[in-house]
Structure 1
Amino acid sequence: MEEFKIALNADGKNWASVTHAPNKKDISRLVDQNVDKLVKYFNDHQDMLAPLISKNGDPNFSYQLIDLTTNTVKKLIIYYFHPYHQEYILKKDTLKLAIVAKRYALSFLGPLFMWVEYFDEFTLKETKKMIKPMVLNSPYDISTHGF
């Protein structure tokens, strides 16, 4: 878990280099350039992760990965609202912030979880490419226009 935190923080630090609320073009660039440590973690630990996140694995482990990622995303969302002095918007609706942060976290982790399960069917490079549309588009967009 400690190595996951290190990878997540290393990639997250690069996301915090943006000094404004990122648009789709910024997010696209950030995904291309700043998920490498997370992807490397999954690649380096695929043998250990496969049984832990499988259907018969340890559900608590998956939830820990998701919660850590959600908290990192939540901090980044708050960071992006800060330059415009709009943090108060987030404080008014903490549930919505939590839901959005978890949705983003699952957009990053979902393809990686799937790669661990089906690593023999698609490459890690294909998985990394899959993260971008998951982050940038709604599930509706992907299912109706992205397949």
Structure 2
Amino acid sequence: MRASHTDRERAIDVLKAGFSEGRLGQDEYEQRLSRATAAQTYGELNLLIGDLPQGPVPMPPAVPVRQQYPPVARTFLPAPPKTNGAAIGALVCGVLTPMYGITAIPAVILGHVAKAQIRKTGEEGSGLATGGLVLGWLAIGAVLLFIFAVVATNV
């Protein structure tokens, strides 16, 4: 395939980089430069620059600098926030609802209590409380739907 002016200029840039890096001597650089300006095809250009890097030589990754100071002792770090116990209870009751239907009511109650405590104290466990609330309310809704369906079929 025929080479364009841009292709020849790119090859000349590669030759210039090879010369400036010391990969080509003066005579060889001038010879290749004159042949690159006269090249008509990609094949001719590839013969001229095939043994040279096509861009900057990649540098090895930098070695990470070692930490200058020892790690902070655990006693000086703030304690991790606790998980709210009511939130854990709400989720456990919500998960047990399919086996023991009565645990839906404590799941809802504990979920609301946990949400209030978490807002006050900043403890962890908001997702657990929400999970308990959702499971509890779904179970209560399913029981009410079942009761209404039974009443409607008997009327």
TM range (shorter): under 0.3
Relative to total residues, which structure has the larger helix share, 1 or 2?
1
Bigger relative contact order, structure 1 or 2 (CA pairs below 8 A, ≥6 apart):
1
Normalised to the residue count of structure 1, the TM-score between the two structures is 0.24
- Rg bigger for which structure? 2
Normalised to the residue count of structure 2, the TM-score between the two structures is 0.23
